Homo-oligomer: A and B are copies of this chain.
Amino acid sequence: MPTIFFYGPELDKDKKKELIRSFTKKASELTGIDEASFVVYLKKSDPKDVGVGGELLEDRQKGQ
């Protein structure tokens, strides 16, 4: 039943798989809940749609 949301950059497929495997394994160990019950949502956050420190991330990354 536990659910994990990851808001971050787009990843390639192998990295998605590793992130899901690693988060699920560790969370299962710590909670004692079976791995089969875990759902992980990867929510890609485009730098055009994220603000950090009051600035658009897209602009920060350009060094503006």
**Interfacial residues, chain A to chain B (CB-CB below 8 A):** 1-9, 11, 13, 15-28, 30-31, 33, 35-45, 48-57, 59
Query: Which of B5, B15, B43, B45 lies in contact with A30, CB distance below 8 A?
Result: B15
Which of B24, B36, B39, B54 contacts A35, CB < 8 Å?
A: B54
**Residue of B with least CB distance to A49:** B42
Instruction: Give the copy number.
Output: 6
Question: Which of B22, B43, B52, B56 contacts A17, CB < 8 Å?
Answer: B56
Query: Could you say which residues of chain B place their CB within 8 Å of the CB of A20?
Result: 51, 54-56
Minimum Cβ distance to chain B for residue A17 (Å) = 5
Q: Is the CB of B7 within 8 A of A2?
A: yes
